[in-house]
Structure 1
Amino acid sequence: MPDPDLGRLALGITLFRPSRDQVDRVLAHTASGFAGVIAFDDGGLPDAEAERLTRAGVTLLSAGRNVGIAEALNQIVAAARAAGASTLLLLDQDAEPPAGLAAALLAALTRLRQAAIPVAVVGPAPAPAVGHKAPAYPPRPGAPACDALAPVQFLATSGSLIDLDALARIGPFRADFFIDGVELEWCFRAWSLGYGCYLARDVAIPHRVGGGVIRGFGIAMPRQPLFRMATYLRNAVYAWRLPHVPLRWKLVQAAYLPLQAGLYWADSGWRPAVLLRLLGAVRDGALGRLGPPWDRP
């Protein structure tokens, strides 16, 4: 018997130059009984693959150019609401969710509601993927736990289940952040408005960020294209001026960001052009110059 809650859940998937296998994974979700399967093409989806998706009933969105993950998510949210969904499960094109992920996260959301805990998003624990660094989600001090559900400062969007009514009150993802730090800023904003972000420790999903891992100075970080590292630095510096970002997080970032930037520069072979790009990103963040990075693909 179909789960009625799944019938009010929409699945949103972001695509950027996907492979045929990644498109096949989107198609596999169309028989899952969701309120809708929504894909956003952020660039590079061949016409033949787009036709396969639409023919299978996938709602395919596109702005005709790379608008960034935040704007893609905002358009997916609007389409999910139009489909009558009350919750939205987000995935990226690399995600390989375990069977029953949606049902497990819906059950977690129900437990939080029954415990009278206002919640914005609940997501799975990050599982390691070979050659990639799994993200870490710092605990949220002072927030109540609920069984295996732990309050965390933020969650990656991929694999997370969002309560759309809560999102309507919190507001959209910041399109001017473009890509990195989008979920971090939104989750801090959610907490500041009384909505929690919870990690379901009894379910996990592998995360693949970047093209490997850079190690040094006692830290490990994903190896990313230069425009992404620069955008991450810019957004992190800009976030220091946001009142809903906790002071403790700002202090940690103030110590951590120079190490990350130095490690990235070292990994590039100490190229002057890389250093100039990173310093320019820090300047842009301090001055509030956001929006799409000029060197995005």
Structure 2
Amino acid sequence: MIFSIIITFNPVIEDVEKLIVELKKASVIPVVVDNSSDVEHFYDCENIRLSNNKGIAKAQNIGIERAIDMGAKYVVFFDQDSLIPDAEFIKKLHSPLLKNEAKITAPIFKDRARGYTYPIVNINKNGSRTKHYPTNNHDNFFVNNVISSGCMVSVDIFKHVGVMIDDLFIDYVDTEWCLRASKFGFNVLVVPSAQMIHSIGDESFSFFGLNVTKHSPFRRYFRIRNSFYLLRCDYIPKVMAIREIIFSIGHQIILIFFSKGLRYQYVKSLFRGLFDGVFSRFN
């Protein structure tokens, strides 16, 4: 059986309901784990409402445990702002798992607001990155890093790889897990014919031709802090971790200068993230 784990926190309820409808058409059993949204809502599926916001990592782990208890052989993860086109999407991700071609599959993503296709990024051993820009008729290919939304996993690998790290809360949760899975020999098979709509960031703006994602100061704290966690993992290239630290700080400085009314909050989250990251305060 295939279960979906949908993590919500103050979602657009109609979007989540649309996703659930499409998943049911594909005979997927949805499990919604809600991180204590302001408005309590129960969907037409298995619902788990947490007493407070425990973060996406802990919520995913709770969802994984519930799905396995209910008999799941495969789980597919979704964020609250993800949409799938139809039931065929699930079949395309599931087929390679049934054929034992891989233990993890992932689609390609189109941005909801801007319409472009996100690149798939592989992390090389030396820490450099290779970006793939597949079209829907591209052959399947392996990488070691994808975002969690839309990712389908055979549950039997959790006993080898482990689950998500609760203390990361939100940012780099999927990056860390994917690279840990790769360490154990489980890379991700990207299925370009499976395409979904996804949104990254609350909003964005242009800075010298670069698209700058604008997350809240609360989330930016975890982005900065958790980049230091990557530096402590022996299965993550140091060059990559250092680059993420530098980019996270640079990104924050841009947000400080271009976020009128929130500058103090971004400055505060920058220094909190730096302090907790440097001194390994991850819980």
TM-score past 0.5 threshold: yes
Quickly name the TM-score band, shorter chain normalised: 0.7 to 0.9
Amino acid corresponding to residue 4 of structure 2 in structure 1: L
Alignment pair present for 1:288 and 2:269? no
Aligned length: 270
Q: TM-score, normalised by structure 2?
A: 0.85
Normalization by structure 1: what TM-score?
A: 0.82
Deviation digits for residues 155-212 of structure 1, max 9, x if unmatched?
1111110111112210010110001110001011111111112221222112212222
CA change 1:274–1:61 in 2 (3 A) is same
Q: 1:129 to 1:29 in 2, by over 3 A?
A: closer
Number of the residue aligned with 1:39: 32
Correspondence for 2:18: 25
Separation in 1, partners of 2:23, 2:198: 22
Tell me, in whole angstroms, the C-alpha distance in 1 between the residues paired with 2:215 and 2:81: 15
Higher strand share: 2
| Distance across 2 between alignment mates of 1:232 and 1:30 | 31
Residue identity opposite 1:212 in structure 2: E
Looking at structure 2, the residues matched to 205 and 94 of structure 1 have their Cα atoms a distance apart, in angstroms, of: 11
**Structure 2 CA distance for aligned equivalents of residues 45 and 78 of structure 1:** 25
Distance 1:12 1:239 in 2: 25
Residues 1:121 and 2:82 are matched in the alignment: no
Aligned residue identity for 2:105: V
Is structure 2 residue 30 aligned with structure 1 residue 10? no
Please say which of residues 248-257 and 66-75 is displaced more in the overlay: 248-257
Pair 1:262-2:253 in alignment: yes
Shift of 1:73: 0.4
Cα distance, 1:159–1:30 mapped onto 2, change above 3 Å: closer
Among 154, 158, 166, the alignment partner of 2:157 is 166
* C-alpha contact (below 8 Å) 1:214/1:267 kept by paired residues: no
Question: Which residue, out of 240, 250, 253, partners 2:241?
Answer: 250
- The answer as to whether partners of 2:110 and 2:116 remain within 8 angstroms in 1 is no
Which residue among 144, 147, 155 is the counterpart of 1:156?
147
SS at match of 2:65: helix
Q: Measured at CA, do residues 140 and 60 of structure 1 come closer, stay the same or move farther in structure 2, by a change above 3 Å?
A: same
Q: Name the CA shift for 1:266/1:121 in 2 (closer, same or farther; >3 Å).
A: farther
Contact 2:141–2:191, Cα closer than 8 Å, also in 1: yes
1:60 to 44, 47, 55: 47
Task: Give the % identical residues.
Answer: 20
Cα deviation, 1:64-123, whole Å, max 9, x if unaligned, reads 111110011001111111121111011122111121111000113345x24xxxx44211
Contact 1:9 1:35 in 2 (8 A): yes
Alpha-carbon distance between aligned partners in 2 of 1:156 and 1:88, rounded to the nearest angstrom? 15
**Residue 101 of structure 1 pairs with residue 94 of structure 2:** no
Tell me the residue number matched to 1:187: 178
1:84 equivalent to 2:71? Answer: yes
1:206 to 194, 197, 210: 197
SS at match of 1:65: coil
CA contact (8 A) 2:107 2:151 kept: yes
Asked if the contact 1:133–1:220 (Cα under 8 Å) also holds between the matched residues in 2, the reply is no
1:136 Cα deviation after fit:
3.7
Matched residues in 1 for 2:257 and 2:115: separation? 19
Once the two structures are overlaid, the 10-residue window that deviates more, 267-276 or 255-264, is 267-276
What is the CA–CA distance in structure 2 between the aligned matches of 1:148 and 1:129, rounded to whole Å? 24
Cα distance change on mapping 1:255 and 1:17 into 2, 3 Å = closer
Do residues 130 (structure 1) and 113 (structure 2) align?
Answer: yes
1:62 Cα deviation after fit: 2.0
